[in-house]
Chain A
Amino acid sequence: MPGKVHVTTTINGESVEFLCEPRQTILEVLRDQLDLTGTKEGCSNGNCGACSILVNGGVIDACLMMAVEAEGEELTTIEGVASAEGLHPLQQKFLEHAALQCGICTPGFIVAAKALLDNEPTPSEERIRLYLAGNLCRCTGYDKIVRAVQDAASAMAE
Chain B
Amino acid sequence: MATKTEDYLGITDYKVIGTRPIRHDGVDKVVGRAKYGADIDMAGMLHGAVARSPHAHARIKSLDTRKAEALPGVKAVIAVADLPLQEDKIEELGEGAANLQHLRANVLADGKVLYHGHAIAAVAATDVHTAQEAVDLIEIEYEVLQPVLTVREAMQADAPLLLEDLTTQSLGEDSEKKSNVCTHFRHELGDIEKGFAEADLVIEREFFTATVHQGYIEPQNATALWGADGQITVWCSTQGAFDVRAQTAQILEVPVSQVKVVPMEIGGGFGGKIRIYLEPLAAILSKKTGRPVKMVMSRTEVLQATGPTAGSVIRCKMGVDKAGNLIAAQADMRYESGSFPGSWAAPGAMCIFAPYNIPHVLIDGYEVLVNKPWTMAYRAPGATNAAFASETLIDELCEQLGVDPLAFRLKNSAKEGTRRADGPVYPRIGHEQCVETARDSEHYATQFNGKNRGRGVASGFWFNVGLKSSAAASVNPDGTVSLVEGSTDIGGTRTSIAMQLAEVLGIGAEEVKPQVVDTDSVGETDVTGGSRTTFATGWAAYQCALDIKAQMIERAAKLWEIAVDDVVFEDGYFSSSDASKTISFKELAGRLDETGGPLMGRATVNPPGVGGAFAVMIADVEVDTDTGKVEILRVSMIQDAGKAIHPSYVEGQMQGGTAQGIGWALNEEYAYNADGLLTNASLLDYRMPTCLDLPMIETHIVEVPNPGHPYGVRGVGEVPIVPPVAAVANAIYDAIGVRLTILPMSPGEILKALWTKNGTT
Which residues of B are found within 8 Å of A145, using beta-carbon distances?
691
Per the bound structure, the CA–CA distance linking A41 and B683 in Å amounts to 13
Per the bound structure, the CA–CA distance linking A107 and B658 in Å amounts to 23
A9 → B minimal CB distance (Å): 18
Which residues of A are found within 8 Å of B20, using beta-carbon distances?
98
- Residue A43 at the B interface, CB < 8 A? yes
Which residues of A are found within 8 Å of B209, using beta-carbon distances?
none
- Residue A137 at the B interface, CB < 8 A? yes
**Which stretch, B25-33, B199-207, B361-369, B531-539, touches the partner chain A?**
B25-33
Establish whether residues A103 and B691, one from each chain, have CB atoms under 8 Å apart when the complex forms. Answer: no
Per the bound structure, the CA–CA distance linking A129 and B694 in Å amounts to 9
- Residue A130 at the B interface, CB < 8 A? yes
Per the bound structure, the CA–CA distance linking A22 and B352 in Å amounts to 55
- Residue B682 at the A interface, CB < 8 A? yes
Q: Which of A32, A36, A100, A147 contacts B30 (CB 8 A)?
A: A100
- Residue B323 at the A interface, CB < 8 A? no
Beta-carbon nearest neighbor of B690 in chain A: A133
Establish whether residues A44 and B298, one from each chain, have CB atoms under 8 Å apart when the complex forms. Answer: yes
B25 → A minimal CB distance (Å): 8
Establish whether residues A139 and B491, one from each chain, have CB atoms under 8 Å apart when the complex forms. Answer: yes
Establish whether residues A142 and B649, one from each chain, have CB atoms under 8 Å apart when the complex forms. Answer: no
Per the bound structure, the CA–CA distance linking A94 and B20 in Å amounts to 13
**Which stretch, A45-53, A65-73, A115-123, touches the partner chain B?**
A45-53
Establish whether residues B35 and A37, one from each chain, have CB atoms under 8 Å apart when the complex forms. Answer: yes
B644 → A minimal CB distance (Å): 12
- Residue A7 at the B interface, CB < 8 A? no
Establish whether residues B267 and A40, one from each chain, have CB atoms under 8 Å apart when the complex forms. Answer: yes
Which residues of A are found within 8 Å of B691, using beta-carbon distances?
128-129, 132-133, 135, 137, 142, 145-146
Q: Which of B214, B268, B682, B689 contacts A47 (CB 8 A)?
A: B682
- Residue A101 at the B interface, CB < 8 A? yes
Establish whether residues B31 and A101, one from each chain, have CB atoms under 8 Å apart when the complex forms. Answer: no
B529 → A minimal CB distance (Å): 14
Beta-carbon nearest neighbor of B491 in chain A: A101
Which residues of B are found within 8 Å of A87, using beta-carbon distances?
27, 30-31
- Residue A4 at the B interface, CB < 8 A? no
**Which stretch, B135-143, B215-223, B542-550, touches the partner chain A?**
B215-223
Establish whether residues B29 and A106, one from each chain, have CB atoms under 8 Å apart when the complex forms. Answer: yes
Establish whether residues A78 and B31, one from each chain, have CB atoms under 8 Å apart when the complex forms. Answer: yes
Per the bound structure, the CA–CA distance linking A30 and B658 in Å amounts to 35
Interface residues on B, range: 35 or more
Contact indicator per residue, chain A 81-111, by CB within 8 Å of chain B (1) or not (0): 1100001000100111110111111110010
Per the bound structure, the CA–CA distance linking A145 and B491 in Å amounts to 14
B672 → A minimal CB distance (Å): 20
Q: Which of A43, A97, A139 contacts B682 (CB 8 A)?
A: A43
- Residue B412 at the A interface, CB < 8 A? no
Per the bound structure, the CA–CA distance linking A37 and B266 in Å amounts to 14
Q: Which of A37, A98, A147 contacts B492 (CB 8 A)?
A: A98
Which residues of B are found within 8 Å of A130, using beta-carbon distances?
692
- Residue B91 at the A interface, CB < 8 A? no
Establish whether residues A136 and B690, one from each chain, have CB atoms under 8 Å apart when the complex forms. Answer: yes
- Residue B86 at the A interface, CB < 8 A? no
Which residues of B are found within 8 Å of A125, using beta-carbon distances?
696
- Residue B660 at the A interface, CB < 8 A? yes
- Residue A141 at the B interface, CB < 8 A? yes
**Which stretch, B36-44, B167-175, B455-463, touches the partner chain A?**
B36-44
Establish whether residues A129 and B692, one from each chain, have CB atoms under 8 Å apart when the complex forms. Answer: yes
- Residue A154 at the B interface, CB < 8 A? no
Which residues of A are found within 8 Å of B697, using beta-carbon distances?
141, 143
Establish whether residues A141 and B658, one from each chain, have CB atoms under 8 Å apart when the complex forms. Answer: yes
- Residue A57 at the B interface, CB < 8 A? no
Establish whether residues A100 and B655, one from each chain, have CB atoms under 8 Å apart when the complex forms. Answer: no
A77 → B minimal CB distance (Å): 7
A124 → B minimal CB distance (Å): 13
Which residues of B are found within 8 Å of A110, using beta-carbon distances?
30
Q: Which of B29, B656, B683 contacts A43 (CB 8 A)?
A: B683
Beta-carbon nearest neighbor of B36 in chain A: A104
Establish whether residues A77 and B32, one from each chain, have CB atoms under 8 Å apart when the complex forms. Answer: yes
Establish whether residues A40 and B218, one from each chain, have CB atoms under 8 Å apart when the complex forms. Answer: yes
Given contacts A101-B492, A143-B697, contact A91 B659 (CB under 8 A): no
- From 474 to 517 in chain B, residues with beta carbon under 8 angstroms from any chain A beta carbon are 490-492
Which residues of A are found within 8 Å of B267, using beta-carbon distances?
40, 42, 102-105
Establish whether residues A102 and B216, one from each chain, have CB atoms under 8 Å apart when the complex forms. Answer: yes
Q: Which of A36, A102, A144 contacts B268 (CB 8 A)?
A: A102
Beta-carbon nearest neighbor of A110 in chain B: B30
B297 → A minimal CB distance (Å): 10
Q: Which of A37, A97, A129 contacts B32 (CB 8 A)?
A: A37
Per the bound structure, the CA–CA distance linking A73 and B649 in Å amounts to 39
Per the bound structure, the CA–CA distance linking A100 and B30 in Å amounts to 9
Establish whether residues B682 and A100, one from each chain, have CB atoms under 8 Å apart when the complex forms. Answer: no
Per the bound structure, the CA–CA distance linking A39 and B39 in Å amounts to 10
Beta-carbon nearest neighbor of B654 in chain A: A141
Establish whether residues B656 and A100, one from each chain, have CB atoms under 8 Å apart when the complex forms. Answer: no
B491 → A minimal CB distance (Å): 4
Given contacts A32-B41, A44-B298, A141-B694, contact A102 B266 (CB under 8 A): yes
Which residues of A are found within 8 Å of B690, using beta-carbon distances?
132-136, 142
Given contacts A43-B299, A101-B491, contact A138 B31 (CB under 8 A): no
Contact indicator per residue, chain B 588-607, by CB within 8 Å of chain A (1) or not (0): 00000000000000000000
A38 → B minimal CB distance (Å): 2
- Residue B129 at the A interface, CB < 8 A? yes
- Residue B403 at the A interface, CB < 8 A? no
Which residues of A are found within 8 Å of B410, using beta-carbon distances?
none
Establish whether residues B32 and A104, one from each chain, have CB atoms under 8 Å apart when the complex forms. Answer: no
Which residues of A are found within 8 Å of B652, using beta-carbon distances?
98, 101, 139-141, 144
Per the bound structure, the CA–CA distance linking A130 and B692 in Å amounts to 6
B689 → A minimal CB distance (Å): 8
Q: List 27 A-B contacts (CB under 8 A).
A: A35-B41, A37-B35, A37-B38, A40-B218, A42-B218, A43-B683, A44-B298, A45-B299, A47-B299, A78-B31, A79-B31, A81-B31, A91-B30, A91-B31, A97-B648, A98-B20, A100-B30, A102-B265, A103-B30, A104-B216, A125-B696, A133-B691, A137-B691, A139-B656, A141-B659, A141-B697, A143-B696
Given A31-B39, A102-B490: 10 more A-B contacts, CB < 8 Å = A42-B267, A45-B682, A50-B217, A100-B30, A101-B268, A102-B218, A136-B690, A139-B490, A143-B694, A143-B696
Closest 7 CB pairs of A and B: A38-B32, A104-B267, A141-B659, A141-B655, A103-B29, A78-B32, A98-B648
- Which residues of B approach A to under 8 Å, CB–CB? 20, 22-23, 25-27, 29-36, 38-39, 41, 129, 214-219, 265-270, 296, 298-299, 490-492, 646, 648-649, 651-653, 655-660, 682-684, 688-692, 694, 696-697
